[in-house]
Amino acid sequence: MSINRPVNIGLIGAGRIGSFHAQSVARRLVDANLVAIADPAPGAAEKLAAELGAPNAYTSLSELLANRDIEGVVIATPARFHTNIVVEAAEAGKAVFCEKPMALTLEDADRAIAAARAGKVPLQVGFNRRWDQAFAEGRAAIDDGKIGSPQLIRSLTRDPGPFDADPAKIPQWTIFYETLIHDFDTLLWLNPGAKPVEVTAVADALVRPDFADKGFHDTAVVTVRFDNGSIAVAEANFCAMYGYDIRGEVFGSGGMVTMGDVRRSSMTLFDKNGVSNDTWRRDTDHFVHGYTAQLAAFVEAIRTGEVTGPTGEDARNALAIALACVGSVSERKTVKLIN
C-alpha cells in the first residue's frame, strides 16, 4: 500500500452525480487531484470548482480536453452526450471514466470502444453494484462454485420515492437505458460466461399513470434467457416509498446467494409500533464507499493502463439487453439476441 504520484482528473458535467464524483476525487481519494471541471451551464463549473478547490473551471469541453495536465476525465453529463465525449476525450489522450449508459446504440458503443482502443486509453464504465461489498462477495461465492450453475437470477432497482420529477422531461426508454442498465450489467456479471439469447420486457406508467399514453415508463419487468439455460428477471420502479432498494439473487444447482438490504445499518428500534429499521434513501449514501472504490480503480487504471472495473465491452453487453427491451416493449414480443 504505497503512496503514488497523484493523478490529475477533470470532471465533465457538474450535475448531481458529477458533483458527487468530483467530491470523491477531491475529498475521498488521496492520490487524485481534481484539476478542472467543465459544464456548459453558466457558473456551474465555477461554483463547484470553488467549493472543491479545483483550479480550473470551463464552460466548454474542448477547453478541458486541451488542458494537458489532465490525465483522466470523469464523464457525468446527460446520457445522450456520453459517446461523443468518450470519443473526443480518448482522441485527446485522456483516460475515460464514463457514467452509464456509455452509449444508446450499438454503433455508438462500438465507436466509443474503438476510440479508446485507438487512443490507447483506459475506458471504464459506471456500474455501481460491482463495487458494493455484498455484491462483490456474491460474485466471489459464485466463482468459488458455492451455488453451482446459475439457474434463476434476479436483479432489481427501485429508486426512492416520492417521485417528483417531471415525466415530460424524461427521455423515453430511460427506465431501460439508465435504470435497468445497472441490472443488465449485474445479470451478466453474476452469470459469468453466459450470453443472453432472448429478452421479453413489459413496461408501464404505474407511478404516473397520467403519462402512460405519452410513452413514459416508470415500472418495468424484464425476462432474459441465457445460453447456459439460466433465466433472469430484472425489475425497476421509480418510486419506492421506503427507500433506495437494490437487490440481487442468484439461484443455482447447488444453492443461492442473495445480496442487498434496504436497511441502513444494524441499528434496530423496538417500540410500541414493533421493530423497525431506517433505510437507504439515496444512491450516494448507499454506495458511498462503492463509488469511492470505483474511482480509486479508475485512478489505478490511469496509472497502470489496465481497466479492472467494467469496460466499454461490458457497457455494450448491457446496452444490447436494453435495446432488446425497447424492441420487446415496442413490438410486444420476445426479442432474440444475436451474439
> How many Å apart are CA 216 and CA 203, to the nearest integer?
9
Minimum distance from residue 252 beta carbon to its own copies (Å): 9
If the CB atoms of residues 58 and 244 are measured against its own copies, the closer one turns out to be 244
- What dihedral angle (degrees, nearest 10) is formed by the CA atoms of 28, 80, 37, 61? 150
Residue with cell 458511498: 288
- Shortest distance (Å) from residue 183 CB to its own copies: 13
**Touching its own copies, residues 93-122 (CB under 8 A):** none
Q: How far is the CB of 311 from its own copies (least distance, A)?
A: 24
Q: Which is nearer to its own copies, 59 or 223 (CB)?
A: 223
Cell numbers at 26, concatenated: 477531491
* Residues from 43 through 62 that contact its own copies (CB under 8 A): 51-53
Work out the number of other CB atoms within 10 angstroms of the CB of residue 144: 8
How large is the greatest C-alpha to C-alpha distance in the chain, in angstroms?
64
Nearer to its own copies, 177 or 226 (CB): 226
Q: How many C-beta neighbours within 10 Å does residue 322 have? A: 25
Q: Which is nearer to its own copies, 31 or 107 (CB)?
A: 31
Do the beta carbons of residue 156 and residue 245 sit within 8 Å?
yes
d(CA 331, CA 238): 23
Instruction: Name the packing angle between helices 180-189 and 312-331 (round to 10°).
Output: 120
Q: How far is the CB of 319 from its own copies (least distance, A)?
A: 23
Q: How far is CA 52 from the centre of its chain?
A: 24
Q: Which of residues 215-234 bind its own copies (CB under 8 A)?
A: 219, 221, 223, 225, 229-231, 233
* Contacting range for its own copies; rule: CB under 8 A; set: 116-124, 143-151, 170-178, 302-310: 143-151
Q: Which is nearer to its own copies, 114 or 269 (CB)?
A: 269
Residue 157 phi, psi (nearest 5): -130, 120
Q: Which stretch binds its own copies (CB under 8 A): 39-47, 107-115, 136-144, 314-322?
A: 136-144
CB of 113 vs its own copies, minimal distance in Å: 31
**Could you tell me the smallest distance in angstroms from the CB atom of residue 197 to its own copies?**
11
Phi, psi angle pair for 158, to nearest 5°: -125, 115
Smallest distance from the beta carbon of 159 to its own copies, in angstroms? Answer: 12
Of residues 236 through 295, those in contact with its own copies by CB under 8 A are 237, 239-243, 245, 251, 253-279, 289
